[in-house]
Amino acid sequence: MGIGDRDYMRSKDQAGAGWSRVKKNGFFQQGPLSGSPVVLICTICIFVFIIQYVIGFGWVTTMGGQKYPLGATSKWLLLQEGQVWTLVTYIFVHGDFYHLLFNLILIWFVGRILVQLLGNKHFVGVFLLSGVLGALLHILTTDIDAALVGASAGGFGILIATAAIIPNQVFNVLLFFFIPIRCRLKYLALGFVFIEIVFFIIDRAVGQGIYIPMISGVAHAAHLGGGLAGFIYVR
């Protein structure tokens, strides 16, 4: 029996050693999942989606007759209108059901681990900083004034931050949601970063004249910015 198998050497924290061992009162506490910001974030995203897509409330019509969901951000809204709060509100707005579903899966499974590692307050810091920096990087690197929505930048920040803390942790992952593989978290994170860099380069090289599935219309710079923010935060 190895030393890691002995009872007194095992951490009570499922994700390993964390930054904070102090339990605090209120919402931001180390405790049951019901008090976790992961639950709150997922709940807000679902609630906003139901209001906008099921009830049909919360849409804005532009001068050109196009509609975008209320809470989204864009170059015009940020740089011309000065609506800086949209750098946060856009995180909780999504484009369609599958966009919402993918982000919720990432936040739910990886976020619960990061909460145990950092504590609730630091988790919220990683998530929001990743969302804001991701939006800024996207807006500064795109020539298209299209609405930006989604929590994927925050999700990438969570993933990279977790991989920076426990890089050698082995996970069972469903690649493309149906191919089971086992890999270390650092390789999973690096794989996502590599794909996003390649997709970003292709998207910028091809331009907007040709539509490429999974590449065109996706804010790859926001994903990379979110991942960078998550790495910087934990370092």
Tell me the pLDDT tens digit for each residue of 28-81.
Answer: 444 445 459 999 999 999 999 999 999 988 888 764 566 788 999 998 889 888
Query: Which of 201-235 are b and which e, b meaning 16 or more Cβ less than 10 Å from the residue's Cβ?
Result: eebeeeeeeeeeeebeebbbbbbbbbbbbbbbbbe
3-class DSSP assignment, residue 36: coil
Q: How many CB atoms lie within 10 A of CB 36?
A: 21
Whether the Cβ atoms of residue 212 and residue 202 lie closer than 8 Å to each other: yes
> In the prediction, which pLDDT does 206 show?
78
Q: What CA–CA distance (Å, rounded) separates 159 from 184? A: 12
* Cα-based distances in Å from 157 to 15, 189, 192: 17, 10, 12
3-class DSSP assignment, residue 214: coil
Q: Which pLDDT band holds residue 163 (cuts at 50, 70, 90)?
A: very high
Query: CA torsion sign, 148 to 211 to 179 to 169?
Result: negative
Tell me the pLDDT tens digit for each residue of 182-206.
Answer: 889 999 999 999 999 999 998 888 7
DSSP-assigned letter for residue 52:
I
**pLDDT-above-90 percentage for the chain:** 56
Q: What CA–CA distance (Å, rounded) separates 130 from 184? A: 22
Q: What CA–CA distance (Å, rounded) separates 25 from 79? A: 40
The yes-or-no verdict on residue 8 having pLDDT over 80 is: no
Q: What CA–CA distance (Å, rounded) separates 111 from 43? A: 14
| Among 140, 131, 150, 144, CA closest to 216 | 144
What are the start-end ranges of the H helices in the chain? 37-49, 75, 86-89, 97-118, 120-141, 152-165, 185-206, 220-234
Q: Which pLDDT band holds residue 219 (cuts at 50, 70, 90)?
A: very high
At 79, list the tokens. Answer: 């740089």
Q: Which pLDDT band holds residue 181 (cuts at 50, 70, 90)?
A: confident
At 21, list the tokens. Answer: 């061992």
